[in-house]
Amino acid sequence: MDLPLEHGVSREDHADGLAVTIRPAVPADLDALVALEHAAFATDRAERRAIRHAIRSASMSLLVALARDGGEDILVGAATLERRRNSGVARLSSIAVAPARAGHGLGALLLDAAEADARDHGLTRLRLEVRADNGAGIRLYERHGYTHYGTKPDYYEDGMEAWCYEKALAPD
């Protein structure tokens, strides 16, 4: 699925019938992104200054998912990608979905958008880490063709190990 992010992406969220748009984050999204981070993660949360940096960074993409609800756009998810100069590999450092929207396909939509963003930047591979106890995340990545290639012991604040995944991105 090719998602041209420079103009935003829309898809009908079939779980609740609300339109979902994905676009790059802007500074006005900062408060909502901080609130999402606190709602979605019990530990290992990105701090406000890190989120602000991601919004402004030329070497990162912070994508937001907005749902139209009562005539208002509500931030319901986000994905953060990191890129290195002279590397063909991007790192998906986070996907966050508002707990009330979990299980409705937003994680898959954000993952598709992250892959499209990486391809748009000329990258050929996407890597990520996921908590070893995050069954839903692991299933999402494996369904999307990611291969488990290693572990990082004691990776998260609470001592949980991370499973490392990678996917070769097909050219457009």
Say what the pLDDT of residue 171 is.
77
Strand order in the sheet with 18-24: 9-13, 18-24, 60-69, 72-83, 89-97, 125-131, 162-168, 147-152
* 110 SS3 class: helix
Q: Please write the tens of the pLDDT for every residue from 45-102.
A: 889 999 999 999 999 999 999 998 778 889 999 999 999 988 999 999 999 999 988 8
- Better-predicted residue by pLDDT, 43 or 16: 43
Q: Please write the tens of the pLDDT for every residue from 99-109.
A: 988 888 899 99
Task: Indicate the DSSP class of residue 27.
Answer: G
Return the H-helix or E-strand segment holding 36: helix 30-40
pTM for this one? 0.88
* Residue whose C-alpha is closest to residue 126's, from 105, 112, 136: 112
Say what the pLDDT of residue 5 is.
41
